[in-house]
Amino acid sequence: MGKTPRLLLGRYELGRLLGKGTFAKVYHTRNVGTREEVAIKIMDKDHLSKLGAV
């Protein structure tokens, strides 16, 4: 029995972590419907709000 993939925005299957910085992480993802591979940056809203950037 395989594990259920984590979905972002209901359509992107979360893949491996490509990079990590102070404010964000970048993941390799795949669109479940089209199978297109993309990179998605996920920003840390709590960290940015403390700096007044959000």
pLDDT digits over 5-50, tens only? Answer: 788 888 999 999 999 998 899 999 999 999 999 999 988 877 767 7
45 is known to lie in a ligand binding site: no
Is 80 exceeded by the pLDDT of residue 54? Answer: no
d(CA 26, CA 18): 5
Band the pLDDT of 1: cuts 50, 70, 90: low
User: How many angstroms separate the CA atoms of 21 and 41, rounded?
Assistant: 10
Q: What is the pTM of this model?
A: 0.72
Superfamily of domain 7-50: Phosphorylase Kinase; domain 1 (3.30.200.20)
Residue spans of the domains in the chain: they are 7-50
